[in-house]
Structure 1
Amino acid sequence: MSDTPDLTATTGTAAGIAGYWDAAAPSFDEEPDHGLRADRTRLAWERRLGSWVPSGPLDVLDVGCGTGSLSLLLARSGHRVTGVDLAPEMVRRARAKLAEANRPARFLVGDAASPPTGGERFDVLLARHLLWTLPEPEAALREWIGRLRPGGRLVLVEGRWRESGQGDPYVAGAEVLPWLGGVGAEDLSAVLRPLVAELRIELLGEDPELWGGPVTDERYALLARV
């Protein structure tokens, strides 16, 4: 018997999780760092991505892509982007966003922890604010590293989130998720350091332009090379 959490036993069915994020999709871009509608917020993310992702074009896998805002920035930089999200409505909106901007990209409905891209390998894998949702985040990290080409880059935008007490609760059983509420830079580094060739942390919490205003919780980017 496995000691690792089971998706259906601990956090509801995959359909239930997809339903949660489908329901969140219509208002998802209202968050400043999700929709990137303000010029200064969008430019702040453009600058960061430009420093994290080498000039290309490169093959980039955006896991847990949501409505595709970061995918769009990467596509505008000339990269070949594949986005994956479990929620069909998120994927629909991502496709529409890129089409409206006349930028090519591929978006797939599927589990971000095990992206449905077959044997393809990528130069960069990007995940933002995703690890807390996964029942087996360490397994997902190993899977993602396996999707990268030699010398490929892992870009994880993560943190420990302030508890707001607002909004709808996550799916039933979420309290057993290993990294519910986020994961600190020290803990995430300890998991990844044995698996990668290079690793560094870039603190993000003191840059209010990224978030649409000041934040008080831990936010950072973990940048690794395999």
Structure 2
Amino acid sequence: MPHDTSPIQEFWNTAAAEFDAENDHGLRDPVTRTAWARRLASWAPSAPGDPLDALDAGCGTGSLSLLLAELGHRVTGVDLAPAMVRLAEAKLAAAGLPGRFLTGDAGRPPLGDQAFDVVLARHVVWTLPDPAAALRDWTGRLRPGGTLILVEGRWAAAGPVTAYVDGAEPLPWDGGVRAADLVDAVRPLVAELRVEDLTGEPELWGRAVDDERYALVATV
């Protein structure tokens, strides 16, 4: 049965105006921006003149989409919140870089059977009513040898599973998802995977963090 995503959409629409104020969202600090650019280049490498088709699922205001475009990749971003999509479009336009952005459910991107070389989702899996379905969708969109990049964590303030948005149903991974649990969910869908610990890298977050943060990088 489809989930009612309207309360979640409203929440992120409201959050859009101030979203980039967080250091790791807006990437306005050159140190933070460089750290994310370096990570993306390592997770989604390509030869010069050989761009990849990249899907940024739950793209938010497009900060990582912009970095992917700067690496030369062809970027498609999807976000549930129209306000986020508008900001992402403006961000790439201001940089003079191409990018396609669509409003839609990141877990079920409105892209038909379009395939990609890279699917990226940062801090998105935990927000989804049906993360298992999203993981199947994303891995199913990858071309042979394609890469799934999931940047996730289990936040220090996380408590019992509840609804993080009033009016929405409780989410399976509200408050984040531990690496071991995400590995168990992704492993049957991919050929190989690895987990990179990001907790001890304050330059990525603009501050020191002590909760669990990591990237799961998998190939199909």
Q: Say whether the fold is shared (TM-score over 0.5).
A: yes
Question: How many Å separate the matches in 1 of 2:81 and 2:196?
Answer: 29
Partner of 2:30: 39
- Tell me the CA shift for residue 182 of structure 1: 0.6
Question: How many Å separate the matches in 2 of 1:15 and 1:196?
Answer: 32
Question: How many Å separate the matches in 2 of 1:183 and 1:174?
Answer: 19
Partner of 1:7: 3
- Three-state SS of the structure 2 residue aligned to 1:103 is coil
Unaligned runs of 5+ in 2: none
Identical positions, percent: 65
Q: Give deviations 1:71-124, integer Å, cap 9, x for gaps.
A: 000000100000000000000000000000001000000000010111110000
Give the letter for the 2:6 counterpart.
A
2:60 aligned with 1:77, yes or no? no
Question: Taking structure 2 as the reference length, what is the TM-score of the superposition?
Answer: 0.94
- Tell me the CA shift for residue 174 of structure 1: 4.9
- Tell me the CA shift for residue 164 of structure 1: 7.8
Question: How many Å separate the matches in 1 of 2:151 and 2:167?
Answer: 25
Q: What is the Cα-based RMSD across aligned positions, in Å?
A: 1.5
Poorly superposed stretches of 4+, deviation over 3 Å = none
Determine if contact 1:29/1:67 at 8 Å carries over to the other structure. yes
- Three-state SS of the structure 2 residue aligned to 1:200 is strand
Question: How many Å separate the matches in 2 of 1:153 and 1:184?
Answer: 20
Partner of 1:142: 136
2:92 aligned with 1:95, yes or no? no
Partner of 1:11: none
Determine if contact 2:164/2:174 at 8 Å carries over to the other structure. no
Determine if contact 1:98/1:105 at 8 Å carries over to the other structure. yes
Unaligned runs of 5+ in 1: 9-13
Partner of 1:192: 186
Question: Taking structure 1 as the reference length, what is the TM-score of the superposition?
Answer: 0.91
Number of residue-to-residue matches in the alignment: 214
The equivalences for 1:122-137 within 5 A come to 122-137=116-131
Question: How many Å separate the matches in 1 of 2:125 and 2:97?
Answer: 28
The equivalences for 1:12-27 within 5 A come to 14-27=5-18
